[in-house]
Amino acid sequence: MRSNKRSVDLSIIRDDHWDVVFDQVGVGFWELSVATGILRSTRSFKKNFGYPPDGVLSYETVLGLILPEDLDHVQDEIDHTVTREKNCYDVVYRIRRPDGAIRWIKADGILSQQDGECLKLIGTTLDITDFRQPLS
């Protein structure tokens, strides 16, 4: 048996290719500028929060979707990550989507700063509601 080793050139994969993959698995990616509060996110992130792929979703809007009883915990986790008290952001919380549906979100992130860039949090979200439902 011969081994057929080939290198794979991933440079042909464009952002819209990744969007298709992430839509299938439900993982949303986000990036938050610590200095400006500007949130950039993928369409799968927006879908997790009940927004259309071309919708504009600000950091303030995301915070407004988090249920009040979970919001302090989420903000504490973000603060602890930004101040480097924790190595990463890892939290589960509930949101109320614009259609009124309550969903469970698992969010993870790390602090990032590359040469010359402002400090930012980058991470993922996943709607875990179906995993939290009791089995019938």
Cα–Cα dist 28/61, whole Å = 16
Q: What is the pTM of this model?
A: 0.78
> What is the predicted pLDDT for the residue at 2?
52
The mean per-residue pLDDT over the stretch 2-27 comes to: 57
Choice between 125 and 133, residue whose per-residue pLDDT is larger: 125
Domain covering 27-132 assigned CATH 3.30.450.20 in the classification: yes
Q: Output the pLDDT for position 98.
A: 95
Whether the per-residue pLDDT at 37 is higher than 70: the answer is: yes
pLDDT at 53: 86
Identify the pLDDT of residue 119: 87
DSSP letters for 16-80: HHHHHHHHHHTEEEEEEETTT--EEE-HHHHHHTT--TT----HHHHHHHB-HHHHHHHHHHHHH
Q: Which tokens is 8 given? A: 């794979």
pLDDT at 59 exceeding the cut of 60:
yes
Task: Report in angstroms the alpha-carbon separations of 64 from 21, 60, 67, 107, 126.
Answer: 28, 6, 8, 16, 18
Summarised one tens digit per residue, pLDDT across range 73-109 is 999 999 999 888 988 999 999 999 999 999 999 999 9
